[in-house]
Amino acid sequence: MADAVSKTDEFEGRVAFVTGAASGIGRAASRLFAARGARVVLADLEREAGEAVAEEIRSTGAEAVFVETDVADGAAVARAVATATERFGRLDCAYNNAGLSGPPNFVADMPEDQWRRTIDVMLTGVFLCMKNEIPAILESGGGAIVNCASGAGLIGFPGQSAYVASKHGVIGLTRAAALEYGSQGIQINSICPGTARTGMVEDVVRETPELQQELELLHPIGRIAEPEEIAEAALWLCTERASFVLGTALSVDGGYVAQ
């Protein structure tokens, strides 16, 4: 499934902005946007990997540009979003996907710097992205923003308090922004993925092989997701087919939170 990218013109003439675009779900979303006609701005901290994804997209004849970006840095985010309007003249869609992983810690053992960095990237980063994306999308006449939350944004999970708090925050921030801008033509929603086969997950499984089965058992569907399966949901929320969806937290998790 990882290479099954269907080509359509669904996003022809539109410009998409994707954070965390150098790998995993962000890479999958960037490839899908481009395959379906969008011009894509890719933002990520990993320059070499990000440039490689942009070059891969350009090799198909689509347009893509990479911008090295720390989403926790407001000035860097502003420059990255401005690249969309400066390079392509508009911004129509944004998928705020950037994230990070950290070692498990109970609350009393959580280092302050780990807490702050997690919140800075995965909650404040989404705020900073929307703060810059919304004016650009309004200038283009409307569009869609999808924020990547998590199944952990709907339930608790021991040892991951910073991650869980950030993802709960993303869902609340999404709902507030959706109510503020829905009547102005911006559909703002979030998705709540389960575990996907990303580089971060594969690194952890490589170190702890028995974790693979544990992760699969957490999902009633009996497996973890491919990145493209999550990206497809994000893209759907950016289409006219999702025109009456606003402020939702869409679970794409193989039944994880339905248990």
Asked, for residue 137, whether it belongs to a domain, the answer is yes
The confidence score (pLDDT) of residue 155 equals: 93
Strands of the 186-193 sheet, one edge to the other: 64-68, 39-44, 15-19, 93-96, 143-148, 186-193, 249-252
Considering 95, 163, 181, 256, which one is annotated as catalytic? Answer: 163
Q: What is the pLDDT of residues 32-76, one digit of tens each?
A: 999 999 999 999 999 999 999 999 999 999 999 999 999 999 999
Structure tokens at 122: 């995965």
Q: How many domains is the chain built from?
A: 1
Name the residue range of residue 39's domain.
15-250
Instruction: Report the DSSP beta bridge partners of residue 189.
Output: 146
Say yes or no to pLDDT of 205 above 80: no
Active site residue 163: yes
Q: What is the pLDDT of residues 82-105, one digit of tens each?
A: 999 999 999 999 999 999 888 889
How are beta strands 249-252 and 93-96 bridged, if at all?
unpaired
Separation of alpha carbons 205 and 209, rounded Å: 5
Asked, for residue 73, whether it belongs to a domain, the answer is yes
Residue 180, domain CATH: 3.40.50.720
Q: What is the mean pLDDT of residues 229-238?
A: 97
Asked, for residue 3, whether it belongs to a domain, the answer is no
**Taking each helix axis from N to C terminus, what angle separates 112-119 and 161-181, rounded to the nearest 10 degrees?**
30
- The residue ranking higher by pLDDT, 101 or 206, is 101
Asked, for residue 190, whether it belongs to a domain, the answer is yes
Asked, for residue 9, whether it belongs to a domain, the answer is no
Instruction: Answer yes or no: pTM beyond 0.85.
Output: yes
Q: What is the pLDDT of residues 109-157, one digit of tens each?
A: 999 999 999 999 999 999 999 999 999 999 999 999 999 999 999 999 8
Asked, for residue 1, whether it belongs to a domain, the answer is no
